[in-house]
Amino acid sequence: MSTLRFKVVEEAFCKKPLEVPQPSKRPSEYFGEMVFNNEKMLRYLPGDVYRKLTDTIENGGVLDRSIADAVAEGMKRWAIEMKATHYTHWFSPLTEGTAEKHDAFIEPNGRGGVIEEFTGKLLVQQEPDASSFPSGGIRNTFEARGYSAWDPSSPAFIVDDTLYIPTIFVAYTGEALDYKAPLLKALRAVNKAATDVCHYFNPDVKKVYSYLGWEQEYFLVDEGLYAARPDLLLTGRTLMGHESSKNQQLEDHYFGAIPPRVQQFMKDLEIEAFKLGIPVKTRHNEVAPNQFELAPVFEECNLANDHNMLIMALMRKIARRHGFRVLLHEKPFKGINGSGKHNNWSLGTDTGIGLYSPGKTDNDNLRFVTFIVNTLEAVYHHNGLLKASIASASNAHRLGANEAPPAIISSFIGAQLSKVLDHIENSNNDDLASFSKKHGMKMDIPNIPELLIDNTDRNRTSPFAFTGNRFEFRAVGSQANCASAMIVLNTAVAEQLTKFKKAVDEKIAAGTEKTAAILEVLRDEIKDSKPIHFEGNGYSDEWVAEAKRRGLDCESSVPLMYDSYLQPDSIKMYEDMGVMTKKELEARNEVKWETYTKKVQIESRVLGDLSMSMIVPTAKQYQTKLVDNVYKLKQLLPADKFNESAKKDLEIIDKISGHISYIEERVHDMVEARKVANHIEGNRARAIAYHDTVAPMFDEIRYHIDKLELMVSDQMWQLPKYRELLFIR
C-alpha cells in the first residue's frame, strides 16, 4: 500500500488558505515603491544628472558615463534606505531563466572596518563568467571573460535585500549571449523604420514604441503531490498518468469562482507585483482544472519582457509560501489544455497614436491599412522563422492540441478588415474604404445597454490574429522568454517597413503622387501576402494540406524548425537591420539544438527510471497477489467453479504480463536509441536523432503504463493520479 501517496493527498485536501496581510495603503499608493523609477530618480539624483539620464532613456542615446557615479550614489542611497544590503546585475542568458550574482555594498575602509560603496563602474558593467553560460561555441570553456552592461531603459528594483540592475550580457568579443541585447536592437530597428513610414502621414512623429501585453497561463499543484511525482519534479510535466474521469469536459472551471487557497496566492502575488511596478490587472480560472491566468496592462516591449521574467520568478517563490508549486511547462498534463503566453503586440507613436487603430479621416485609415498590410507581409515572408522563435521541446506538446494554435503560422484578420483589403486590391487609387472602430449591437432585453462590437471576431485557432488594435501572437509558450518571439517579430516588421518606404519613395521620385504611390505598393503587398490570411479552423486536416499548397512552413520537427534561423533571407534580415550577425545566429541555433537534446534526454531517463523502479515492480507485485489468489481458489474450489471464479483474474494476469513485457522491451529500446544518438557528432544531427528515434517511444511506453494504472489496485499505485493532482481545493 502506498502510504506516502495517501498521506500527501490527505494533507493537500485538508490545507486551509494562508491569510495574506493586506497593505494599509491602496495599490496606487504603494505601486512601484520597490522600483528606482522616475519619481525616485528626481528625488535622489542631481538635476543635471537626472536630465541627462532621462534623455538617454527617452531618446535612446548613448549613456554619458560621466554621470554614472552620481547615478550609482543616488541609487545606493535609495537602496540602503529600503534596507537593501546587496546589488546584482540581472540578465537573461540563453536559458529559460534569469541570472544574478549578489555583491554586498561594502568595501574595506583600511582601518579594519567597511563602508557602504557603489560606484558608477560597478553600476555600468560587471564581468560574469561567460564560459559557464550557453554560448553556442562563441566562447571556449577556457575563455571566461564576458560583460554585463546596464540597461537604463528598464529601471532597477529591489527584491528582498538586493538591488537588481537589468543588464545585457555580451561576450568579450562583442557577440550577444542573452535575449535583451538583440531585443533592444530589434526595437531600435522597428522604431526607425516605423517612424520613417509614419512621416508619410504625420511629420511630427519622432518615435515609435513597440508595446507588449503578455497573458501568463499556469497550473498550480499542491506541493506535497508535486514532490511525490518525480516526473513533475525533474521535467515539469507528467510523463505518465491516465486522464481523470472528470477533467475539463464540463467547461465549469473556466472563469469559475477562484478557489480560496488560489485566491490568497493571487492576492499575495499581486501585492508583490505592484510593489515592483508590474501592472498586473487580470486574474481568472483558465479552461483546464487547476489552470489559471494573470495579465498586465500593456507596457513598452523591453520593460514588459523584464516584468514577465520577474513575475515568473515571483510566482515560483510565492506559490511555495501557500503550499503550491507553479507549473509553467506548456503541457504538464495530457488530455487537457496546455499553457501559453499570448503576446499582444502593437506599435504606437510618441504623439499618442496607435498604429493598428483606424481613425476618422482617410489619412488615418491609410496609415492604419499601411501598417496592417506591412505586418502581414512580414509575417508571410518570415512565417517559418516566427514558428522557430516559439519552438521548443516543451511547446511542441502544446501546439495544435486542446485549443492551442497549430504549428503553422497564419493570420486571422476578420471579415471587415478582409473586405477593406479586398476593396483596396481591386479599387482605384482615389477610392479608399473607411474602417469603423466599433459598431453597436442592440439587445432586445430590458435594462441591457447597447453593446459596442469590435471590428473583428476572435479565432482561437489562429496563431497570429488581429484583435482590434493589436496582433495577438498566441503560439508563445508559457515558460518561454517573450524576447525570442519579439526579436523576430519586431525585426521582420522593421525590414518590411524599410522595403515599403524604399518602394514608395521610388514611385514618388518617378512622379507618382504620394497617396497613389502608397496605395500602389500596398496593392502589390496585399496580393503577395494573401497566403498568410486564414479565417477558418486551424485544426482541420484540410488546412494542413491547404497551407502546404500556399507554401507556408508546415515543418513539425522542432530541431528542423530551427533551420529557419539560418536561411539566407533570415540572416540577411538580421544583419541588414543590425540586430544579429550570422555568427550570433549560428551560435544560438547550437544552443537551441543542444537544449532540445538535453530536455528529451532528461525525460527519457526519468521515464525509464520510473518505469523500471516503480511501475513494473508495482505491477508485478499486484500480479503476484492475483496469482496467489488464483492458487488459493484452486485449492478451495471444485474444478468447474474454479474455472468460473478465476477466469477474470487470469485475464487480468495475462494483460498485466503483456503490458509489463512491452514496457520492459521499449525502455530497453529507448536506452539503446539514446546511446546511439549520444554518439552522433553535431548538435543538429543529435537533436534530430533524439526527435526521430527517442521521443516517439515516450507515448508508446506511456500508453501501457496508463493501462496498468487502471488495472493495478489503487492502494498499491505509488504515484498521485490526475484526479488527485488536478482537483485540490
* CB within 8 Å of 525: residues ≥ 6 apart: 373, 374, 376, 377, 500
Q: Quote the pLDDT of residue 9.
A: 79
Report the share of the chain in percent with pLDDT over 90. 73
With a cut of 90, say whether residue 481 has pLDDT above it.
yes
Could you read off the pLDDT of 396-416 as tens digits, one per residue? 999 876 556 778 999 999 888
204 pLDDT tier (thresholds 50, 70, 90): very high
> Each residue of 355-395: pLDDT tens digit?
999 888 889 999 999 999 999 999 999 999 999 999 999 99
Greater confidence (503 vs 133) lies with: 503
What pLDDT band is residue 438 in, cutting at 50, 70 and 90? low
pLDDT at residue 686, as a whole number:
98
pLDDT surpassing 50 at residue 220: yes
Closest CA to 137 of 679, 588, 642, 615: 588
The 10s digit of each residue's pLDDT in 258-285 is 999 999 999 999 999 999 999 999 999 9
pLDDT at 1: 44
Q: Other C-beta atoms within 10 Å of 303: how many?
A: 18
Tell me the average pLDDT across 307-313: 98
Q: In terms of DSSP bridges, do strands 464-466 and 471-473 run parallel, antiparallel, or are they unpaired?
A: antiparallel
- The pLDDT of residue 32: 96
**Cell 515492480, residue located:** 617
- Rounded Cα–Cα distance for residues 448 and 464 (Å): 33
* pTM of the entire predicted model: 0.93
Distance CA 424, CA 403 (A): 33
Confidence category of residue 641, pLDDT binned at 50, 70, 90: confident
| Residues with Cβ within 8 Å of residue 631, at least 6 apart in sequence | none
- Rounded to whole angstroms, how far apart are CA atoms 214 and 298? 8
Q: Are 564 and 492 in contact (CB under 8 A)?
A: no
Comparing 541 with 676, the larger pLDDT belongs to 676
- Name residue, grid cell 519534479: 233
pLDDT digits (tens, 9 = 90+) for 552-575: 999 999 999 999 999 999 999 999
Mean pLDDT of 417-446: 64
Determine whether 175 is exposed, middle or buried from the number of CB atoms within 10 Å of its CB (0-12, 13-18, 19+). buried
- The better pLDDT of the pair 406, 213 is held by 213
- pLDDT value, residue 450: 47
Q: At 219, which helix (H) or strand (E)?
A: strand 208-222
At 15, list the grid cell.
490545507
Q: In terms of Cα–Cα distance, which of 433, 371, 430, 429 is closest to 196?
A: 371
pLDDT in tens, 512-544: 999 999 999 999 999 999 999 998 888 788 888
Mean pLDDT of the region 651-680: 97
**Tell me, what's the pLDDT at 453?**
43
- Per-residue pLDDT, 2: 63
Q: What is the mean pLDDT of the chain?
A: 90
The C-alpha torsion from 100 through 106 and 107 to 111, rounded to 10°, is: -160
Distance CA 360, CA 435 (A): 8
Query: Using 50, 70 and 90 to split pLDDT, how confident is the model at 447?
Result: very low
pLDDT at res. 19: 81
Both ends of the chain: CA-CA distance in Å? 25
**Mean pLDDT (whole number) for 124-144:** 75
Q: Model confidence at 729, in pLDDT bands (50, 70, 90)?
A: low
| Amino acid present at 130 | A
Residues 6+ apart with CB under 8 A from 509: none
Q: What is the pLDDT of residues 2-52, one digit of tens each?
A: 667 878 877 777 788 888 888 888 999 999 999 999 999 999 999 999 999
**In this model, does residue 144 exceed pLDDT 80?**
no
Place of cell 506559490: 319
Task: Judge contact between 316 and 329, C-beta under 8 A.
Answer: no
CB contact at 8 A, 597 and 690: yes
Rounded-to-integer distance, Cα 187 and Cα 494, Å:
9
The cell numbers describing 379, all together, are: 509575417
Question: Is 443 a residue whose pLDDT tops 70?
Answer: no
What is the spatial distance between Cα 592 and Cα 646, in angstroms, rounded to a whole number? 55
Indicate the burial class of 509 (C-beta count within 10 angstroms; 0-12, 13-18, 19 or more): exposed
pLDDT at position 458: 54
pLDDT in tens, 239-253: 999 999 899 888 888
Burial class (CB in 10 A: 0-12, 13-18, 19+), 568: exposed
Q: Is the pLDDT of residue 197 over 90?
A: yes
